[in-house]
Amino acid sequence: MKRLDEIKFAGKKVFLRADFNVPLSKDGKVTDDTRIRATLPTINKILNDGGRLIVASHLGRPKGKPSLEFSLKPVAETLSELLNKPVPLAPDCIGETVQQMIQNMKDGELIMLENLRFHPEEEKNDPEFARSLAKGIDVYVNDAFAVSHRAHASVHAIVRFVPECAAGYQLQQELDYYHRALEAPQHPMGFVIGGAKVSTKIGVLEHLLPKCDIMIIGGAMANTFLKVLGKNVGKSLVEDEYLNTASSFLEKAKTRGVEVLLPEDVVIAPSQESDPGDCRQVAIEDVPDDAMIFDIGEKTLARWRDVLSKCKTIVWNGPVGMFEKPQFAKGTMELAKFIAGLDALTIAGGGDTVSALHKAGTYEKMSYVSTGGGAFLEMLEGKELPGVAALKNCGRDVA
């Protein structure tokens, strides 16, 4: 798989798959340009080297039909402002008009294609649609990590019809940090995992067990493990069908000598809508039958801080409490501040985790924050992403 710096872009037509699936206001303005800014180094490299850049992305869920609501026009306008140069928006992503626009481009110029998902063939990974996207293209660059776990035409099938491919800077950075954290980590290595369900994270737990020294489990998914250990979790969310799975996992961890830490004390309330005055902190042994667990307690936080302070590598996925509610946010907020302040390689990913880091004001202090939600999770499970695997099959059908 080639890196961006290995490609000579001068005079070449370059198809860049970006992830510009950004939030828009009701009046159609980009409200968060983080994803656009993340791709600027790749865009500037190609343009500065004299490439003719065709930028492609999806936006929202238009269900395979053109829709003004999901037009990339606001994205093209924002990118134009960031680059301080025109970014014409094509009326479609394929077709004669688009081809004419591409043919008229000069070195160092760029255009943006209209929403890829206006065509149902994009999500179907249709080879003929991919061939149309690739028409006349010299180089394909993937800088859309967040969609690289999807086998879509612009991420997967397209590489067969382009003679040269490379990973963009952002995608390469994701892969490099993954390697540093999980393929060649400095030990002790700690993994913090939270979120709601064991069912969505068991693949991650199983894959990371041989790689880490310490595993901290929080959030609602911890309740299933606590119940296995005979703790009363009241009316809290528990996946009873995963009790045997959780029990088996704890046995494997014990056999491997991996320390698994669960909450020792918790913040409880009658429901998630309870007022702060109805919330209280209790030892895990003292959770009443009519209460629900929504956050970790002070003793747990202190214990986790102590253990994590000894780690040289920390990977975090998933909040350890219902941080969206102020009365249940302390555990996740304090943990975010602590991890971000450590002298260690600290990597976080997942939509809720990223939101928590922003809320805690520690996003910039982490060693690296992944731009992908589902893609980050699949990498933690040890799966090769279709978009990454595809880059190795570049040009297979070109001849």
Beta pairing class for 345-348 and 368-369? parallel
- Annotated active-site residue in 73, 197, 299, 303: 197
- Annotated active-site residue in 12, 17, 35, 330: 35
Q: Is 197 a known active-site residue? A: yes
Return the structure tokens found at 35. 């994803």
Q: Which residues contact 42 (CB under 8 A, 6 or more apart)?
A: 4, 16, 141, 143, 168, 169, 170
- Annotated active-site residue in 351, 365, 373, 395: 351
Rg (CA), the chain: 23
d(CA 75, CA 33): 9
Return the structure tokens found at 388. 């990454």
Find out whether 133 and 153 touch, Cβ atoms under 8 Å.
Answer: yes
If you search the block for the tokens 């704890």, which residue do you land on? Answer: 250
Q: Is 374 a known active-site residue? A: yes
- Annotated active-site residue in 60, 64, 203, 374: 374
Q: Is 351 a known active-site residue? A: yes
Q: Is residue 246 exposed (0-12), middle (13-18) or buried (19+ Cβ within 10 Å)?
A: buried
Q: Which amino acid is at 92?
A: D
Q: Which amino acid is at 346?
A: T
Return the structure tokens found at 144. 């859309």
Q: Is residue 357 exposed (0-12), middle (13-18) or buried (19+ Cβ within 10 Å)?
A: buried
Q: Which residues contact 307 (CB under 8 A, 6 or more apart)?
A: 190, 214, 216, 259, 261
d(CA 202, CA 97): 48
Give catalytic residues, as residue numbers. 35, 197, 351, 374
